[in-house]
Amino acid sequence: MNIVSDKIIQRAKELGADLCGIASIERFTDAPLGFHPTDVLKDCKSVIVLAARFPLSTLSTPSPAAYTFVRHRLVDKIDTITFQLSSELENIGACAVPIPSSDPYDYWDETRKHGQGILSLKHAAVRAGLGKLGKNTLLINDKYGNMIWLGGIVIDIELAPSSFADYQACIQDCHICLDACPSKALDGITIIQSKCRSISGKCTDGGGFVYACNLCRKLCPNHKGIL
């Protein structure tokens, strides 16, 4: 089957993605048990990762409603792109499974308030060359910083992988995000979801839900791109 990586990346961008990269299955040898691409698709040979830009203007207002609205639209946008691209890949003979960019979770630990998607898109994005993980646990891209939203597709076709990102994400000795986190949920390596969830999301008096905290994204010196 003649499916070319460059054509997939081009098509993803035609559908609205700002970034697209490809990781070979060999790059996932250290994936956690149960969250390997082959746990999603047994015959997976490659993982396609896409990203859409998070408009910078979203951070210029203190309104959590505006941030929440944009976040939800990005979820819709990326999920629509991965759905369409996977359908087109299937039409030419591949088995291509889109990965939800947010909900639903297969895994949820009520005690720890810890959710985990069927595949870690930020770790897949590193393996697909889209950036590096920051101490705030967000993916940082050289052009768009951490202002991106991720989606993915697992496919049973062996595709030429993208090159790894060759830049450093976090400034050496920087701990702005760690110090700024109101719930002290960050340690520079991972995030304690129960602490983050305790303040990051809230219901308004009218019954609406908003994401009320984005300091780890907003205060990062590289949130606009690699300086």
The pLDDT tens digits along the chain (227 residues) read 557 999 999 999 999 999 999 999 999 999 988 899 999 999 999 999 999 999 999 999 988 999 999 999 999 999 999 999 999 999 999 999 999 999 887 887 888 877 788 899 999 999 999 999 999 999 999 999 999 999 999 999 999 999 999 999 998 899 999 999 999 999 999 999 999 988 888 887 776 889 989 999 999 999 999 86
pLDDT at residue 170 in the model: 92
The CA distance from 194 to 114, in Å, is 7
Neighbours of 208 (CB within 10 A): 11
Q: How far is CA 121 from CA 31, 164, 175, in A?
A: 12, 15, 24
Q: Which residues of 96-132 are buried (b: 16+ CB within 10 A; e: fewer)?
A: bbbbbbbeeeeeeeeeeeebebbbbbbbbbbbbbbbb
**Sole residue written with tokens 């993982």:** 47
Structure tokens at 143: 């052009």
Take residue 142 and report the two structure tokens written for it.
Answer: 């050289």
pLDDT value for 116: 81
For 83-95, give one letter per residue: b (16+ CB within 10 A) or e.
eebbeebeeeebb
Question: Cα Rg for the chain, rounded, in angstroms?
Answer: 17
- What DSSP string describes 33-66? TT-SHHHH-TT--EEEEEEEE--GGGGGS--HHH
Distance CA 127, CA 142 (A): 15
- Give the chain's count of helices (H) and strands (E): 7, 10
pLDDT, tens digit (0-9, with 9 covering 90-100), for 180-225: 999 999 999 999 999 998 888 888 777 688 998 999 999 999 999 9
